[in-house]
A = this chain, B = another copy of it.
Amino acid sequence: MLQSQLFTRTRREAPKDEVSKNAELLVRAGFVHKEMAGVYSYLPLGLRVLNKITQVVREEINAIGGQEVVMTALQDPELWQKTGRWDDAVVDNWFKTKLKNDTELGLGLTHEEEITAIMTEHITSYRDLPVYAYQFQTKFRNEARAKSGIMRGREFLMKDLYSFNANQEDLDAFYEKAKAAYHKIYDRLGLGDRTYLTFAAGGIFSKYSHEFQTVSEAGEDTIYVSKERGIAINEEVYTDEVLSDLGLAKADLVEKKSIEVGNIFKLGTKFSEPLGLSYLDEKGEKHPVVMGSYGIGISRLMGTVVEALSDEKGMVWPKSIAPMVVHVVELGRDKNEQVHSEAKALHDRLEKQGIEILLDDRSLSAGEKFADSDLIGIPYRVVVSERTLQSGTLELKDRATGETDMLTEAELVNLCANA
């Protein structure tokens, strides 16, 4: 893609109405547009990142047997009344609206009720189990305050997976698979080394639920990390009993601020009983289906990557989710027309090989172009100038490490193809 044709522009100055680093950088780089607090549009480069995170999550959830669906934002109160979650005194962040005939509707903040109702039409026998269904869908949550950029949205993209098993044992086995899939996701997004399986408050059906927490000063949560064991405890359950359950002592743990980047729950029959989701076993006996739910905020993950991996010059995208792999910056096109024609030819050749490339073909100074390149944070920056044309090599800079290198086009292709 030619940067001269990309409609977004970068900004030097930080937007006045943002206090979070992720929103500041994403707005400055033209990745997102703020519609209102906690509500962001995704512009071309930002959408590319969001879609890549989605694809990483999709691959890992498909790998554990997930079947993809898309449910609705508009929610019928009837289902939620059955589980007691329609009441604003129980769930305090509903957005509600009305049909023309004055029927009240909700905007979905999670989808346990809807997916359970759907499954009553498809599950009746033990032969129909297990089922694992998930979606990428826009959630609405009426947060009183929303000042964490895209990390805590009033409208945001979430992956929510729901599991349906015949019994607790099968749920437990799938729950462990989901845990492992989540770890793979954070690893692929470059957050693996700072993301901990964290013990948090459970519910009726299990002593604990589990969160995945990424250590970051921007986090709203406090956790106690055991580096050695690779786990953490949320401060909400940081008690002697829990420490003893986990075989940990206070001296082993370090307090950290962190961002919740996923959570998984054993729901048991909390939803299947009131909504009538049951199955007949081999003997014809009826049982409620045993459920679990597994969430990951996709837009929050994108914000977390910005918080965790940026530096003072701008964003640093891991290759797995970068908007493009290589940012070619041409220098001196106004003095030497050949610079642009060679850079454009390189762009076309790389694009033809399926390499995602952004070519900065704008008439700006080297300083302005390098500052924009650092801000946007594409993993490899390659300079094409009169000097590189003469030497027949390209000048590469790795955004993450700052290391530079001279290399041939074939070497660049090889590097990008393995990215």
Q: Which residues of A contact B (CB under 8 A)?
A: 5-9, 30, 33, 35-36, 39-44, 47, 50, 65, 67-76, 95-101, 105, 107, 114, 118-119, 121-123, 128, 131, 133, 138, 140, 142-144, 154-155
Contact = CB atoms under 8 A, between A and B. Distances in A.
Q: Is the interface of A mostly helix, strand, loop or mixed?
A: mixed
A69 B144 CA distance: 27
12 contacts: A6-B67, A7-B119, A7-B131, A9-B122, A30-B122, A36-B74, A36-B76, A39-B74, A41-B72, A43-B118, A97-B97, A100-B144
A123 B43 CA distance: 14
Nearest to A142: B100
Contacts of A41: 69-72, 114, 118
A140 B74 contact: yes
Contact of A8 (B30, B101, B122): B122
A73 B30 contact: no
A42 B71 CA distance: 6
A59 to B, nearest CB: 15
Which are the 7 A-B pairs with shortest beta-carbon distances?
A: A7-B131, A41-B71, A97-B97, A42-B70, A95-B97, A35-B72, A100-B144
Given A7-B122, A96-B97, A138-B138, A43 B69 contact: yes
A72 B40 contact: yes
A33 B68 contact: no
A35 B99 contact: no
Contacts of A40: 72
Copies, count: 2
**Residue in A8, A35, A40, A143 whose Cβ sees the most chain B Cβ within 10 Å:** A35
Contacts of A36: 74, 76, 105
**Residue in A9, A72, A138, A142 whose Cβ sees the most chain B Cβ within 10 Å:** A72
Contact of A155 (B5, B6, B50, B73): B73
Contacts of A143: 100
B118 A33 contact: yes
A325 B239 CA distance: 56
A47 B70 contact: yes
A8 B67 CA distance: 10
B30 A42 contact: no
Contacts of A6: 67
A9 B131 CA distance: 12
Nearest to A107: B97
A72 B70 CA distance: 17
B44 A68 contact: yes
Nearest to A30: B122
A73 B133 CA distance: 25
B7 A123 contact: yes
Contact of A142 (B65, B69, B99): B99
Given A7-B119, A41-B114, A73-B138, 5 more contacts: A36-B76, A43-B118, A73-B73, A74-B140, A97-B97
A121 B13 CA distance: 13
A9 B200 CA distance: 37
A131 B44 CA distance: 12
Contacts of A65: 5
Contacts of A68: 44, 47
Given A41-B118, A138-B138, A155 B100 contact: no
Contacts of A39: 72, 74
A33 B113 CA distance: 14
Nearest to A93: B100
A72 B5 CA distance: 24
A74 B43 CA distance: 16
A7 B42 contact: no
A83 to B, nearest CB: 16
